[in-house]
């Protein structure tokens, strides 16, 4: 009589149960899962020797745990593209502050080390006949300025966020920062169109800080002044409708919507100014952008001076922004460059560049942060006083 394998297993378990649970279980497992001898096979083949990897001169060599992306940058783990930061001072946060959403492209001038041909045999790197493997050298950084790159509208908001992240527990009193430098500008008292452009850039920076401090009264004041200045520059009432949206959202304390609406308002005004081809010139654009960034640097340096740490000082690092500002201010018309307020702006830029031109992980001494605040304050106060 033929017995099913499962039945045979059950009988074996019952039979062996008197010999001890462990022995019975072991026997049952061996009956249920009989060992199968592997079929004879060909003898194992020796592993193939590793294929030599040849790198050509100039190719970067990956270290353990790194990958090489097509641009030649070495990135730990998975290679990811890098995104340029907006200057408010670099993107670069970076730590934070490196502009991080920053407005102009940030160029990193670190070049990969020079290499020569190497042959990887899998047994370690050995020089081939006549080969010389030099020690890698790191060249000095040289700022690269692209004549086709235009400065973006001022937005130091990323610097404010970076400072919050750096200080963490030490809360920044953003209302105090706003009160330290906001400009109360009456458009009716400014007749010169170029001074109106300077005032417009300053009030953009004021508005962004009013949002950061979440002060409804200050934000409404900024929106009203921006609206009046833009109207005097020739922007229509319909194109200023977002100024009213900014105020309505501020009353509701919907700060995310306020931030977005203020950005749209800024963009609408710039588009309207560009359409007036008779009045819109590179001079207007440069003045709006330069004054806004100067006011942003003034606020940021004040906040960092009051809450100084080495890491916080790195937020001010932005040599490329200063290079672009120097380039653009140098492109102003001869008439404007002859004005006292523009002369003061031009003279301040090299001083500011010397302060913020530090290595990526470098620091700015506190006395230099104080000097930056003093310089930017003098310039902003002079810009709308001429």
Which residue's structure tokens are 């692209």? 146
- Widest CA span in the chain: 116
Sheet holding 118-120, edge to edge: 53-55, 118-120, 125-126
Which has more confidence, 100 or 378? 378
The token duo for 123 is 């047994």
Instruction: Let me know if residue 144 belongs to a domain.
Output: no
Q: How confident is the model at residue 155 (pLDDT cuts 50, 70, 90)?
A: confident
Say if CB 351 and CB 375 are below 8 A apart: yes
Residue 124 inside a domain? The answer is no
Give the up-direction half-sphere exposure of residue 349: CA atoms within 13 A in the CB hemisphere.
20
Q: Does the pLDDT value for residue 109 go beyond 90? A: no
Give the range of the structural domain holding residue 204, as residue numbers without chain letter.
157-383
Beta-bridged to residue 76, according to DSSP, are 66
Do 374 and 238 belong to one domain?
yes
CA–CA–CA angle 46, 47, 49 (5° rounding): 120
For the segment 177-220, what is each residue's pLDDT rounded down to a tens digit? 999 999 999 898 998 999 999 999 999 999 999 999 999 999 99
Cα–Cα distance, 250 to 221 (Å, whole number): 11
Question: What pLDDT score was predicted for residue 44?
Answer: 54
In a domain, 139, yes or no: no
- For 78, counting Cβ atoms within 10 Å of its Cβ (0-12 exposed, 13-18 middle, 19+ buried), the class is exposed
* Cβ-proximal residues to 208 (8 Å cutoff; 6+ apart), any chain: 155, 156, 157, 160, 259, 262, 296
Q: Of the candidates 299, 304, 281, which has an alpha carbon nearest to the alpha carbon of residue 380?
A: 299
- The helix or strand, by DSSP H or E, that contains position 61, with its residue range, turns out to be none
- The residues with which 91 forms a beta bridge, in sequence order, are 98, 99
Question: Is the pLDDT confidence value at 125 over 80?
Answer: no
Taking Cα atoms as reference points, which of 198, 204, 177, 197 lies closest to residue 88? 204
Cα(207)–Cα(341) distance, integer angstroms: 23
Q: What is the pLDDT of residues 19-75, one digit of tens each?
A: 444 444 444 444 445 454 444 445 555 555 554 444 444 444 444 444 444 434 444
Least confident of 146-160, 206-220, 326-340: 146-160
Task: Tell me, yes or no, whether 59 lies in a domain.
Answer: no
Distance CA 115, CA 303 (A): 45
pLDDT tens digit string along 245-293?
Answer: 999 999 999 999 999 998 888 888 888 888 776 666 889 989 999 999 9
How does residue 384 score in pLDDT terms, banded at 50, 70 and 90?
confident
d(CA 264, CA 19): 86
Query: Do the domain assignments include residue 221?
Result: yes
Report the alpha-carbon distance of residue 283 to residue 338 in Å, rounded. Answer: 13
Measuring CA to CA, which residue among 267, 246, 235 is closest to residue 153? Answer: 267
Which of 16-20, 56-60, 115-119, 220-224 bottoms out in mean pLDDT, i.e. has the lowest? Answer: 115-119
**Is there a domain that residue 140 lies in?**
no
Q: Distances in Å between the alpha carbon of 155 and those of 211, 318, 334?
A: 12, 14, 28
Domain total of the chain? 2
Alpha helices in the chain, H assignment, sequence order = 5-16, 21-32, 157-167, 174-181, 193-213, 216-232, 241-251, 255-275, 282-306, 310-313, 319-329, 334-337, 340-356, 366-383
Strand residue runs (E) in the chain: 53-55, 66-68, 74-76, 118-120, 125-126
pLDDT in tens, 344-381: 999 999 999 999 999 999 999 999 999 999 999 999 99
Predicted local confidence at residue 101, as pLDDT: 39
Residues 6+ apart with CB under 8 A from 230: 200, 239, 240, 269, 272
Look at residue 67 and tell me if it is in a domain: no
Are 293 and 328 within 8 A, CB to CB?
no
Residue 303: inside a domain: yes
Is the model's pLDDT at 328 over the cut of 60?
A: yes
Kindly tell me if the per-residue pLDDT of 106 is higher than 50. no
Tell the burial category of 51 from Cβ atoms under 10 Å away from its Cβ (0-12, 13-18, 19+): exposed
């Amino acid at each position: 009589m033929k017995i099913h394998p499962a039945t045979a297993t059950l009988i074996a378990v019952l039979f062996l149960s008197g010999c001890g649970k462990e022995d019975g279980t072991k026997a049952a497992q061996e009956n249920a899962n009989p060992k199968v001898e592997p079929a004879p096979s060909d003898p194992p083949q020796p592993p193939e020797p590793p294929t030599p990897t040849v790198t050509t001169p100039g190719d970067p060599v990956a270290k353990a745990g790194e990958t090489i992306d097509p641009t030649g940058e070495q990135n730990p783990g998975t290679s990811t593209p890098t995104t340029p930061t907006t200057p408010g001072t670099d993107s670069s946060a970076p730590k934070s502050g490196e502009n991080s959403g920053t407005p102009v492209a940030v160029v990193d001038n670190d070049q990969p080390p020079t290499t020569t041909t190497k042959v990887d045999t899998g047994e370690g790197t050995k020089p081939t006949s006549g080969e010389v493997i030099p020690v890698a050298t790191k060249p000095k950084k040289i700022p690269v300025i692209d004549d086709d790159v235009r400065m973006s509208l001022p937005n130091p908001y990323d610097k404010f966020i970076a400072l919050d992240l750096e200080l963490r527990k030490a809360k920044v009193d953003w209302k105090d920062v706003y009160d330290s430098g906001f400009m109360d500008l009456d458009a009716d008292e400014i007749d010169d169109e170029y001074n109106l452009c300077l005032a417009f850039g300053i009030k953009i920076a004021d508005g962004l800080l009013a949002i950061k401090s979440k002060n409804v009264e200050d934000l409404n004041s900024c929106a009203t002044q921006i609206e009046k200045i833009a109207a005097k520059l020739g922007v229509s009432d319909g194109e200023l409708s977002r100024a009213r949206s900014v105020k309505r959202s501020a009353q509701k304390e919907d700060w995310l919507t306020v931030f977005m609406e203020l950005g749209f308002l800024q963009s609408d005004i710039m588009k309207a100014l560009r359409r007036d081809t008779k009045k819109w010139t590179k001079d207007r654009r440069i003045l709006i952008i330069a004054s806004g960034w100067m006011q942003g640097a003034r606020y940021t340096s004040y906040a960092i001076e009051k809450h100084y740490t080495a890491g916080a000082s790195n937020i001010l690092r932005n040599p490329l922004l200063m290079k672009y500002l120097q380039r653009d201010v140098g492109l102003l018309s001869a008439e404007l460059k002859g004005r006292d307020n523009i002369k003061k702006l031009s003279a301040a830029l090299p001083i500011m560049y010397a302060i913020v031109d530090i290595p990526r992980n470098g620091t700015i001494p506190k006395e230099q942060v104080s000097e930056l605040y003093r310089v930017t304050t003098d310039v902003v106060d002079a810009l709308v006083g001429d």
